[in-house]
Amino acid sequence: MGKERICLAYSGGLDTSCILKWLLEKDFDVVCMIADLGQQEDFEAARKKALAIGACAVYVEDVKEEFVTDFIFPAIKANAIYEGRYLLGTSVARPCIAKKQIEVCHKENCGYVAHGATGKGNDQVRFELTYYSLEPNIKVVAPWRDPEFYNRFQGRADLMAYASERGIPVPSTPKAPWSMDENMLHCSYESGILEDPAAVPPPEMFHVCVNPEDAPNKAEHIKITFKDGNPVRVENLDDGTIIEGPVPILTYLNALGRKHGVGRVDIVENRFVGIKSRGVYETPGGSILRVAHMDIEGVAMDREVMRLRDMLSPKFSELVYYGFWYSPEMDFLMAAINKSQEYIDGNVQVKLYKGTAIAQARESPTSLYDPELASMNVAGGYNPSDATGFIRINAVRLKAHRAIITKLLKNKSA
């Protein structure tokens, strides 16, 4: 009988390299899947490393287009933000990776999947809920929840010793006192010295954006064009650069955001597993898009539709954070949000300056804004005297409530 085949989400780092070797020693045939989400990594070196360790096959999957189009832009359209500050850069990436991993499983006839997520974090949930949603019969190996594994490897020193014994190349430079995860939407930092929420991150930690105080003293002005809520074009109003296409647009906005120090946030958040954790995030392009998208909605979205969509956005964000991207409730929310984005078309001018992205002007062919109705100087089709009845009708319940309160207070004092 042949060996069981397993697909490992592989990064080339110390943890997943040791997991790869450990799985081989558990008598698996290991297929590695590396997802290119736009992070700055040497994918060819990681591929060669996995093969040298013993992987029977390595897939380097370029998922940037799918990541932006099918995961990032839907989150932008939903104005998704977790607990009011986190733009979900890691959360939207995990289902994208896990989906591609399942596709590799089907190609390679793997009955198992494995990942390197810890047993205390959110990522284990995000990976595995996606696995089971897309392939209910898949079997999951989660080494950091396996007592045999985590009792053997209780820290980086144990992993380094194991790697040395097994001939696995190890990093030659000291590990930074924090962990970092990067993709096309953001870069996150956590653990290590950041586990003290009172500790101020050192300036050298930040990998993406310049410090806002070190950003250029001259502002930069751009115009972002939206069609049905999706960004389709960016024009630099200062130098004439024009960018189109999902990946080029986000790449360009990331570059501008980095330059101007846009998109840093340092928070303590609530993990799905019940633990509070501190995360520091840099989301330059995503932060710019959020500002512009919310602004174009201001002129092009109906008031009551906006109120309903705003009620759905926190739930959408929670589902993304918790790992329920592929779920019936997410399908329902996605359909509602896509409906809300019909005719969210137009341009928003944004000023980038020292850590800020500020919407300054907007125009839309589907604008619901009527200058004559809004003007204090022009009556237009609005009769000011009509407001008297409007106010009286809305005051009926307030008057009734005050009458009851007054009566109760009189009875109480009698």
pLDDT of residue 96: 98
Catalytic residue among 36, 166, 179, 191: 179
pTM of the model: 0.92
234 close to 253: Cβ distance less than 8 angstroms: yes
Q: Is 94 one of the annotated active-site residues of the chain?
A: yes
Give the integer Cα–Cα distance in Å for 181 and 159: 19
- Pairing, β 28-36 against β 4-9: parallel
Catalytic residue among 11, 15, 277, 313: 15
Q: Is 345 one of the annotated active-site residues of the chain?
A: no
pLDDT of residue 168: 94
Q: For residue 151, give the H/E element and its range.
A: helix 147-152
215 close to 206: Cβ distance less than 8 angstroms: no
pLDDT of residue 373: 59
Q: Is 123 one of the annotated active-site residues of the chain?
A: yes
Q: For residue 293, give the H/E element and its range.
A: helix 284-300
Taking each helix axis from N to C end, the angle separating 123-134 and 89-108, rounded to the nearest 10 degrees, works out to 40
pLDDT of residue 316: 98
- Pairing, β 28-36 against β 57-62: parallel
3-class state of residue 34 by DSSP: strand
Catalytic residue among 47, 94, 126, 290: 94
Q: Is 15 one of the annotated active-site residues of the chain?
A: yes
- Pairing, β 187-190 against β 276-282: antiparallel
Q: pLDDT (tens digit, 0 to 9) for every residue of the chain, 414 residues total?
A: 579 999 999 999 999 999 999 999 999 999 999 999 999 999 999 999 999 999 999 999 999 999 999 999 999 999 999 999 999 999 999 999 999 999 999 999 999 999 999 998 999 999 999 999 999 999 999 999 999 999 999 988 899 999 999 999 877 667 788 899 999 999 999 999 999 999 999 999 999 999 999 999 999 999 999 999 999 999 999 999 999 999 999 999 999 999 999 999 999 999 998 999 999 999 999 999 999 999 999 999 999 999 999 999 999 999 999 999 999 999 999 999 999 999 999 999 999 999 999 999 999 999 999 876 555 555 556 778 888 999 999 999 999 999 999 999 988 887
Catalytic residue among 11, 17, 91, 123: 123
Kindly list the distances between the CA atom of residue 25 and the CA atoms of 18, 158, 317, in Å, as whole numbers in the listed order: 11, 17, 40
